[in-house]
Amino acid sequence: MTNINPIPDPATRPTLTVTEAGSLLGIGRNAAYDGVRSGEIPSIRVGRRFLVPTAALRRLLGFDQTEPAA
């Protein structure tokens, strides 16, 4: 079976641009930036740039589930 998941592996691509994340989420650029500003889309700020951590986006969408600590 092939992997149809379009979100890259965090080991090979640790961050995405906001525009790339928006495209993967099926929303436009402005909506993606609105999501980043409101905190709905996880992001980090580097200087004036916002980047979306790939691992956080995968968790948000339920691709990578982590077990809660006992």
Distances in Å between the Cα of 8 and the Cα atoms of 3, 11, 30, 38 are 11, 8, 22, 24
pLDDT 10s digits, 50-69: 999 999 999 998 887 766 65
What does the pLDDT read at residue 1?
A: 45
Instruction: Specify the pLDDT at position 25.
Output: 94
pTM to 2 decimal places:
0.82
Domain ranges for the chain: 17-60
- 4-43: per-residue pLDDT in tens? 558 898 999 999 999 999 999 999 999 999 999 999 999 9
